[in-house]
């Protein structure tokens, strides 16, 4: 996709949310471009590799809205997400409609394109990992994370589904799903965001 958004058309608020979102993407270790060679660190010394998109069992092609916080910085943006058994693709937009970035995970690679962010510093695989944790089925996620020594549990009460990821006695993140809203909080990395919009089929 070509990025035609004009850098100078984004005001100070737009630049601030780009910086905040970049901080989340940059908060962990880097990895090589390729699913089997890309470690996603959930603690300083414990990681998993991304799941192959071919086993997702997911179908989604829908707009979403994201409100997030990293440390004391708040940000808000829109997104269009496509998930299926061959592709995981997210296009991020500012509140003014400018394209901020596009992240794509296929069966053999992770690609990140942006005219607004420093691509040399962005670790797009961490956003892909969060998306997989939010949307992929537990039958796929649980054995994958357990093979790396993590504990991933899911509970449902009424219309609320809760997922918790931990390592030993250390809680890492919590995902809460209600209707078409997903709330993710990473207590270890000190960031959170709420996604509202289309859901996986």
Q: Check pLDDT > 70 for residue 158.
A: yes
Backbone phi, then psi, for 189, in 5-degree steps?
Answer: -95, -5
Backbone phi, then psi, for 143, in 5-degree steps?
Answer: -65, -30
* Rounded-to-10 torsion of CA 192, 127, 161, 180: 90
Average pLDDT over residues 152-159: 97
Q: What is the pLDDT of residue 140?
A: 93
Cβ atoms within 10 A of the Cβ of 30, count?
14
- At residue 13 the predicted structure's pLDDT band, cuts being 50, 70 and 90, is very low
- At residue 122 the predicted structure's pLDDT band, cuts being 50, 70 and 90, is low
Backbone phi, then psi, for 180, in 5-degree steps?
Answer: -100, 20
Q: Which CATH number covers residue 31? A: 2.50.20
Are 92 and 75 within 8 A, CB to CB? no
Instruction: State the pTM of this model.
Output: 0.79
Which residues, other chains included, contact 56 with Cβ-Cβ below 8 Å and sequence gap of 6+?
Answer: 83, 84, 85, 88, 132, 135, 136, 137, 140
Q: How far apart are the first and last CA of the chain?
A: 25
**Would 92 be classed as within a structural domain?**
yes
Q: What is the pLDDT of residue 164?
A: 98
**Would 1 be classed as within a structural domain?**
no
What is residue 7's DSSP assignment?
G
**Would 178 be classed as within a structural domain?**
yes
Rounded-to-integer distance, Cα 68 and Cα 34, Å = 27
**Would 78 be classed as within a structural domain?**
yes
Total number of domains in the chain:
1
For residue 154 the two structure tokens come to: 């899911």
120: containing domain: 7-196
Sign of the CA dihedral running 157, 160, 165, 168: negative
Average pLDDT over residues 30-39: 54
**Would 181 be classed as within a structural domain?**
yes
**Would 81 be classed as within a structural domain?**
yes
**Would 2 be classed as within a structural domain?**
no
């Amino acid at each position: 996709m070509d990025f035609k958004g004009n850098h100078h058309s984004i005001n100070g608020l737009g630049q601030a949310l780009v910086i905040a979102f970049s901080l989340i993407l940059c908060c962990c270790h880097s990895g090589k471009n390729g699913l089997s060679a890309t470690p996603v660190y959930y603690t300083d010394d414990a990681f998993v590799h991304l799941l192959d998109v071919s086993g997702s069992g997911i179908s989604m092609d829908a707009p979403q809205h994201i409100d997030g916080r990293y440390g004391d910085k708040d940000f808000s943006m829109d997104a269009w997400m496509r998930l299926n058994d061959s592709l995981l693709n997210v296009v991020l937009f500012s509140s003014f409609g400018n394209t901020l970035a596009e992240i794509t995970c296929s069966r053999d690679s992770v690609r990140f394109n942006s005219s607004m962010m420093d691509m040399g510093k962005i670790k797009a695989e961490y956003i892909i990992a969060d998306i997989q944790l939010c949307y992929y089925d537990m039958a796929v996620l649980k054995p994958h994370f357990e093979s790396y020594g993590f504990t991933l549990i899911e509970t449902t009460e009424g219309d609320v589904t809760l997922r918790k990821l931990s390592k030993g006695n250390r809680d890492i993140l919590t995902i809460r799903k209600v209707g078409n809203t997903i709330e993710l909080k990473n207590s270890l990395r000190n960031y959170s965001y709420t996604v509202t919009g289309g859901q996986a089929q």
